[in-house]
Structure 1
Amino acid sequence: MSPGRIKAPDVSHKVILYIEALSVSFDGFKALNDLSLYINDGELRCLIGANGAGKTTLMDVITGKTRCDSGQVYFGQTVDLLKHDEAAIARLGIGRKFQKPTVFEALSVSENLELSLKTGKGVWFTLMAKLDSEQRDRIDAVLTTIGLSALRHKPAGVLSHGQKQWLEIGMLLVSDPRLMLIDEPVAGMTAQETEKTAELLTSLAGERTVVVVEHDMEFVRSIARTVTVLHQGSVLAEGTMDQVQNNPAVVEVYLGEES
């Protein structure tokens, strides 16, 4: 368990994230409208929906960035996320990766991972402090997982777009999250990078729960067992990719000719 982490969530009912009757309004616009969603422990879930469907707002509420008007959000059986701020939610074991990579380009790949270890110290202290054996092993394991071991001493700025995305996923992994929220991981990637990203995210599910927000339907098809379709702040449909693509309501409001 990483420093500062609180005990693991109670997933005795096999559900790690409970979202019930969640509503959020911005100047009269309902970004989330009585949304209910349940994510099972260890699953890889994909969220899809047109722009404005509520995907980002939902991630913001889960991570404490945005406060809701009404509803409930629980991490496991007992942890009410609405009572915690962003920092506390991260310590609980919920990590988020935004669409645009935010790596430290002047630092090496390995140093980026060092900074993400939960030391609670500043950048300079973190880089000057010696890692203990457990921390070194953790970084080595993450480098292997994200496929960047051979580039560990290279500046992050020389990485390709896809490699920067993998590094940022690695920066989440070193903090040992139980739930990972990943926003549009393959935007701008080559076909080969997209395929490797699918393999990476699929490999993470099981030990962790991975929720992916994505617009690339072929990518979603390649990784998802369950897809949740959001529309106007609510859940429109849920099921396998084939089920949602053949759902008349989904075809009408979102997938259109793509189905």
Structure 2
Amino acid sequence: MEQLDKFRELMRRDRVFDFMMPDQMPAVDVSHEVLLYVEGLTVSFDGFKALNDLNLYIDDGELRCLIGANGAGKTTLMDVITGKTQPYSGMAYFGQTHNLLNKNESDIATLGIGRKFQKPTVFEQHTVFENLELSLRMSKAILASIFYRMSSEQSDRIAEVLDIIGLSKQSNQLAGALSHGQKQWLEIGMLLVSDPRLLLVDEPVAGMTPQETEHTAELLTSLAGERTVVVVEHDMAFVRSIAKKVTVLHQGSVLAEGNMDEIQNNPDVIEVYLGESQ
């Protein structure tokens, strides 16, 4: 009986073992207030330069919008930042010390960089809550998975994220039954529960209703400050509603940067996108 009691104590549901805990997220040096440094990036595919000596600097805590025509280099840039594509030349640093070009996709995610693709990818046969639980930052080792028990802190974190993304009432609903906009918010939530420092969000309002678009604008705006958010989007009305600073890419390079009024009145932007000069 004594041994049984000891075993029950060892395996109680609120116990979290050291080997089950995730690795600590590495510290990021933002002493110069810049979180992401991209300099001289060049990526070539069969002679086509998807990125052409691109320079970009994103401040810690800012919300930056990237715009540009198809083929301007937006997706390729995010591919490089997340380790999916290696550039021909250039550098990309996360803070002062983390060289992203020396790390694989998993290592980069561990640093605190999360990416949301245009098409939402959720586990449709699982509930909203279960989707968030599966995305928690935790050890994925075999023993950790066998003995996994959700802690009260993890449960509280999921509840907090559900409130942030506006899906608390849908917590027990299957993800497959959500609307398109709700699936987009759920995927953002799946990134948030892993506590990323930088969020890369690709066309978040494509296919949304006006009401869903408005909620998404409020959501992304609320995340900036505590986190850094980079949004790729073609909907200029949406960009205007959220952006303090916009970067325009053209043929793999930065064409212009500034607030939305400055961008819309920039002669180079007008000439490239409207086919006229000012």
Q: Please give the range of the TM-score, normalised by the shorter of the 2 chains.
A: over 0.9
For the 8 Å contact 1:238–1:244, the answer to whether it is kept is yes
Mapped pair 1:134 → 2:157: no
Aligned to 2:77, the other structure's residue is in SS state helix
Mapped pair 1:40 → 2:40: no
The 1-side partners of 2:103 and 2:214 are apart by 36
For the 8 Å contact 1:143–1:152, the answer to whether it is kept is yes
| Structure 2 residues not aligned, in runs of 5+ | 1-20
The 2-side partners of 1:190 and 1:5 are apart by 39
Residues 1-259 of structure 1 correspond to what in structure 2 (within 5 A)? 3-121=22-140, 129-254=148-273
Instruction: Tell me the TM-score normalised to structure 2 length.
Output: 0.89
The 1-side partners of 2:255 and 2:43 are apart by 17
Aligned residue identity for 2:216: T
Aligned residue identity for 2:219: L
For the 8 Å contact 1:245–1:255, the answer to whether it is kept is no
Aligned to 1:35, the other structure's residue is in SS state strand
For the 8 Å contact 1:115–1:127, the answer to whether it is kept is no
Q: Give the Å deviation of 1:118.
A: 2.4
Cα gap change, 1:119 to 1:162, in 2 (>3 Å): same
The 2-side partners of 1:126 and 1:112 are apart by 16
The 1-side partners of 2:148 and 2:103 are apart by 30
Q: Give the Å deviation of 1:74.
A: 0.4
For the 8 Å contact 2:137–2:195, the answer to whether it is kept is no
**What is the RMSD computed on CA atoms of the aligned residues?**
1.9
1:101-131 C-alpha deviation (Å, 9 max, x unpaired) = 00000100000001101234389x8699431
The 1-side partners of 2:145 and 2:263 are apart by 46
Aligned residue identity for 2:85: T
Q: Give the Å deviation of 1:255.
A: 5.1
The 1-side partners of 2:275 and 2:215 are apart by 28
Aligned to 1:59, the other structure's residue is in SS state helix
1:217-255 C-alpha deviation (Å, 9 max, x unpaired) = 000000000000000000000000000010011011125
Aligned residue identity for 2:258: G
Aligned length: 256
* Paired-residue identity, %: 73
Aligned to 1:235, the other structure's residue is in SS state strand
1:67-118 C-alpha deviation (Å, 9 max, x unpaired) = 0000010000111100000000000000000000000001000000011012
The 1-side partners of 2:266 and 2:109 are apart by 36
Q: Give the Å deviation of 1:3.
A: 1.9
The 1-side partners of 2:165 and 2:146 are apart by 21
Aligned residue identity for 2:154: Q
For the 8 Å contact 1:229–1:237, the answer to whether it is kept is yes
The 2-side partners of 1:256 and 1:141 are apart by 47
For the 8 Å contact 1:180–1:209, the answer to whether it is kept is yes
The 2-side partners of 1:73 and 1:207 are apart by 22
1:17-70 C-alpha deviation (Å, 9 max, x unpaired) = 000010000000000000000000000000000000000000000000000000
Q: Which moved more, 1:246-255 or 1:14-23?
A: 246-255
The 1-side partners of 2:162 and 2:56 are apart by 33
| Greater gyration radius | 2
For the 8 Å contact 2:63–2:224, the answer to whether it is kept is yes
